[in-house]
Structure 1
Amino acid sequence: MPRYSRRVLAALTAVAAIGALAACTSSAASTTSHSSAPKSAPAQPLTLYAAEGYDAVMAKAFTQKTGIPVKVDDDSTGPLLTKITAEKNNPQWSMLWVDGDTAFAALDKEGLLLPYQSSSASLNSLGTSLEPKDKSYSPTATTVMAALIYNAAKVTAVPKTYADLTGAAYKGKIGMNDPSQSGPTFPFIAGVMNQLGGEKNGVAAGESYFSKLKSNGLHIYPTNGDTLHALETGQIDYGLIQSSAATGETIKVKASANYKPEIVYLPQSTLLPSAIGIDKADNPVVAKEAKEFVDFALSPAGQAVMQTGDPSGDSLFWPIVSNVTALKQLPAFPTSYQTLDPYYWGPLEGQVNSWFDSTIK
């Protein structure tokens, strides 16, 4: 039996339904002169590919509000993007929601995203600055990459610049995430490369910097949680991770004589927006539902769910929606930060990650 995509099957089902309806209408026309009002199309399930700590509770809250079912495929960003690439000719996703707008810029350049701007959302100035010109995806919040979290119970040296991390005081003591697994990590690498002249002069200077870190004993772990575990167990003394994960660690952990996590932000920290993109191949019903999900995420009710769904993790973001206040556990927004051009760096992600895999890991 031929194997059809979910959209082709949906279309065939619709054609069959129309034919059956036409037959019934023709038969009924000889006995009655009135017809019933058309019914609205039934809700179709949304499939949300997501790497947010609050994605499941957001999906549940959205379904409760709208009646639209949402299937959540929760995974790290890297594997989700790999699935989207593998499914390019038969997409199984309706929406993607992850941290890092570089991934969305790359998908947009491939023509995979449906442009949409929520007319009901009110973004603050920071949020407006993070919107793409073509509205191909919707930013929903922001964190920073990287926060440098360190064990103040063991070390006294606190770096002031990224260059300091290549010095003898930090030899064998630094850990970071794997960009092929951890979505926030490529924007961090790109941010360092950007500071070293990446947009004008390419990535060579950035590659040289990370090679120096490797020579100084850099450790690589899959994701934020793994790097934090290495910090907690004394494998490393410094970790370069997402700000929300670092702040969550300081909230969860009771300081002791052996472990006291503290955070510093090095100039220039890179803004890391979370964002939602809609699959351009969605049928009109699913596309409409996906837009409703974006509207909900950017509404006061949706933002409240985001801020409570993962209280010691991804909920620790700085809001980009007007009249939404950051959680009190968050530090002041960093004064020294940069934003990346996602349309420059996004298409380079595969190249940079491949180089990192083969050279630094």
Structure 2
Amino acid sequence: MILVANAAALAALWPRGEDQLVIYSMMGPARALTAAFTARTGIPVTYINLEGGPMQARLYAEGDHPRWTVAWFTGEAPMAALDATGLLARHAPDDPEWPDAPFTDLARSLLPADRAWLPTRIGLGAAFVAAAGSPAPGRSWQDAFLHARAPGLLSPVSSGGAYPVLATILAVATGSGRSLLLGSRSRLRIFPSSSLLFEALRSGDVSFAILPSETAFNLRRRDRRLSVTLPVPNTVLPDVIGVSPHASPTDRKLAAQFIRFVLSAPGQALLGRDTAAALGWPPVTNAVPDTTLPTLPVDLVHLPAGLWGARQDEEIGWFEREVAR
């Protein structure tokens, strides 16, 4: 059984059967991946997918009485927040039930000290996406902001998924990220929704858009007239997966099987083709990178998940007052 639920459907409760894995996801639909897992293991999957805000609200509302076993997100900040409130299982390095995959050096550097989550894909905090007919921006933050006719941004005020881009600009943009945003404020175009930003990009109303790399590469997959440039320096924005501390021993074993499958070479291949949010680089050495992606840059910064998650309201408030006004 594979179920992709929307917000309306979540009002109804479903009975928990034996040996059923319940996944709460912000990753987008993953039908082929979950179907392949069920075919291989015989374990049925209930897969609930929502955007960040509604999903986080649901997780905290369920609290210590969760209906989920696995949580799967883009970005570490939501996981760090769950972990800080005791809503993620923590694992010792030698825990035999917690998967130990052949991680790349970069992926292994992302593992939290309490091993409460694992990376399932590597993305970047920002990418420049230009439409056909628009000159592709260079890789320099300074040049992109100061010389572009009309850079486009998704508003972090209206979309939680836009915060990683803002955090990347503020943390690593050459010079001062705040100065770049303020200096380009008269030309910067800010959109309340992804659909409006994408339409402006395709029509040429913006010269380029700044998006998380996974979103950028998925856009290019659908429209080959778009070009993607990865600015440097950049931040790491991994997809991460964790398990409820309230899961039964049986459910923890089911979760471990699913995570091992996702981190396997077949799982990674399916992940790159199937899950909309996961068009990134494999975190494991036994998987083949997507040939449509460039080489993963080396000039990367790993932002402390807890720190930047805690600063989210402050930074978005500053953006709303000073840039979006």
Q: Give the TM bin, normalised by the shorter chain.
A: 0.7 to 0.9
- In structure 2, C-alpha distance between the alignment counterparts of 1:86 and 1:207, rounded to whole Å: 35
1:324 aligns with 2:304: no
Unaligned runs of 5+ in 2: 1-12
- In structure 2, C-alpha distance between the alignment counterparts of 1:219 and 1:211, rounded to whole Å: 13
Unaligned runs of 5+ in 1: 1-5, 11-41, 198-204, 256-260
Amino acid at match of 2:187: N
- In structure 2, C-alpha distance between the alignment counterparts of 1:329 and 1:266, rounded to whole Å: 18
What's the CA shift string for 1:67-99, capped at 9, x where partnerless?
A: 222111112223212222233254333222121
1:250 to 220, 225, 228: 220
| Partner of residue 128, structure 1 | 108
Change (3 A) 1:279 1:206: farther
Amino acid at match of 2:249: P
Partners of 2:128 and 2:231 within 8 A in 1: yes
Partners of 1:127 and 1:139 within 8 A in 2: yes
2:166 to 189, 196, 207: 189
Change (3 A) 1:170 1:142: same
- In structure 2, C-alpha distance between the alignment counterparts of 1:84 and 1:246, rounded to whole Å: 28
1:277 aligns with 2:242: yes
Which is worse superposed, 135-144 or 113-122?
113-122
Structure whose alpha-carbon radius of gyration is higher: 1
The percent of aligned pairs where both chains have the same amino acid is 27
| Partner of residue 144, structure 1 | 124
Change (3 A) 1:216 1:302: same
Amino acid at match of 1:109: A
- The structure with the greater share of residues assigned to helix is 1
1:170 to 148, 152, 157: 148
Change (3 A) 1:350 1:277: farther
SS at match of 1:145: coil
Change (3 A) 1:195 1:308: closer
Partners of 2:155 and 2:162 within 8 A in 1: yes
Amino acid at match of 1:64: A
| Partner of residue 137, structure 2 | 158
1:57 aligns with 2:9: no
2:203 to 233, 236, 239: 233
- In structure 1, C-alpha distance between the alignment counterparts of 2:301 and 2:158, rounded to whole Å: 23
Amino acid at match of 1:227: L
Partners of 1:150 and 1:237 within 8 A in 2: yes
What's the CA shift string for 1:133-185, capped at 9, x where partnerless?
A: 110111111011211011250x3372543334543x435x2222343665653
Partners of 1:54 and 1:306 within 8 A in 2: no
Q: CA deviation at 1:358?
A: 6.1
Change (3 A) 1:196 1:268: closer
Change (3 A) 1:158 1:196: closer
1:68 aligns with 2:38: no
- In structure 1, C-alpha distance between the alignment counterparts of 2:204 and 2:215, rounded to whole Å: 18
| Partner of residue 101, structure 1 | 76
